Amino acid sequence: MTAITFGGTTRAVASVSTRTGSETWRIVALALLPVRFIQGFIYWGGGSRRFIYAPSKLDPYAATWMANKFQSAMPGALLGTDHIIAFLLHHFYLLYASLIIFSTGELLAGVFLMAGFMARAAALASIAFSIVLMLMFGWQGATCIDEWTMAGSNLAMGATLMLAGAGALSIDNLLLLRRPALAGQAWFRWMAGAMPLPLSDRRFRNLALAVFASAAVFSVATYSYYRGSVVTAFHGGPVSAARHNLALANGSVLPDGSVRFHAYLNGGTPAAPSNIMAATLLNQDGSVLEQWDGTALSHLPSSAIANEFAYNRFATGPFGLSAKMGAEATITLPRVAAAEPEFRGKAATLRLRTVNGNSFELPVKAG
């Protein structure tokens, strides 16, 4: 078995029963240098921004606090990760610890990949990060699924580096040159990247094909789910990243005549809030029972808006109600004064109209 020297020659470090093509291994090692460095730089950049260059991302009192980004991803997250996000958002200490651990993992994986230290272990960590990011944020991107594209590319790069290792110009290779006995240690062969994996050609081929199949199926399946264009026509996805959508539920008129409903902003871009400009209560025949214009909505007391989460929220604004992506709240509108006697015991429809002209309706039952 051989290790790769910086000058391009090879040095024997251990004898094995099967001879390795050292020249081919050297070419592969050099060819993968830009892949390893850029993959490492991407993850180092993600972690270093939070710890060094933009620490406000880890500040719960800052507008750029990472919890807001997590909540904005919740509506489109796959395979139950939306429930995990919701659970963390309700438990601050677990949320904060998760963000610190995730950011530290990104930082270390990035540094290890750039330096070529324990390269296969770092590549495996980058694969896990890529899968999590594809499941949570992969649906986002108003013009294209840019979050999926970035994480999908990182998944492929991580899989390649896990199989091939660090190669040349790496700490793993330097350690092997200085301590040849490491060539006989299984843990070093699996975790580091200066040598091929300790597998026969047949077993390595099977492993490589299994990794390829897993990455390909996962990537194509998530892309098809988010946008189609595989076996179906192109579509905007189950959750639109371009058009805000309000999911309304539990509409009722309370005994005091006020109207209560639950609202969830479960579609659209997190780059801009959705603004509700008017609310109208309609009778069965379409006549107006009550209407709350932007002024009335903007003057709702804080007690009238019960938000589910402490981060992205429904709140009053200068022109009505404003909601950030992923916001969930139970909202109470003032008493239906004029129409209350004739409305009691009947059904009606609550219609919300947003600033861009979209309307969302909800059946309302009298208490």
- Are the CB atoms for 331 and 314 separated by under 8 Å? yes
Rounded Cα gap, residues 35 and 181, in angstroms = 28
Residues 283-298 as b/e (b if ≥16 CB within 10 A, e otherwise) read: beeeeebbebebeebb
pLDDT digits (tens, 9 = 90+) for 69-112: 999 999 999 999 999 999 999 999 999 999 999 999 999 999 99
- Are the CB atoms for 263 and 291 separated by under 8 Å? no
Provide the CB-side half-sphere exposure for 11 (13 A, CA).
Answer: 18
Partnered with residue 195 across adjacent β-strands are: none
Proportion of the chain above pLDDT 90, given as a percent? 72
pLDDT digits (tens, 9 = 90+) for 161-182: 999 988 778 999 899 989 999 9
| Chain-centre distance for alpha carbon 279 | 33
Tell me the pTM: 0.86
**Higher confidence at residue 256 or residue 233?**
233
Looking at the predicted structure, is the pLDDT value of residue 25 above 80? no
196-201: long-range contacts, CB 8 A cutoff, minimum separation 24: 196/1, 196/20, 196/25, 196/165, 197/163, 197/165, 200/18, 201/18
Question: What mean pLDDT comes out for the span 26-48?
Answer: 91
Looking at the predicted structure, is the pLDDT value of residue 243 above 80? yes
Question: What mean pLDDT comes out for the span 264-287?
Answer: 92
Q: How confident is the model at residue 3 (pLDDT cuts 50, 70, 90)?
A: low
pLDDT, position 15: 42
Question: What mean pLDDT comes out for the span 16-27?
Answer: 59
> Counting Cβ atoms within 10 Å, is residue 23 exposed (0-12), middle (13-18) or buried (19+)?
exposed
pLDDT digits (tens, 9 = 90+) for 331-362: 999 987 655 555 555 678 999 999 988 999 99
pLDDT, position 7: 44
pLDDT digits (tens, 9 = 90+) for 109-131: 999 999 999 999 999 999 999 99
pLDDT, position 12: 43
Proportion of the chain above pLDDT 70, given as a percent? 90
**Higher confidence at residue 363 or residue 366?**
363
Question: What mean pLDDT comes out for the span 18-32?
Answer: 70
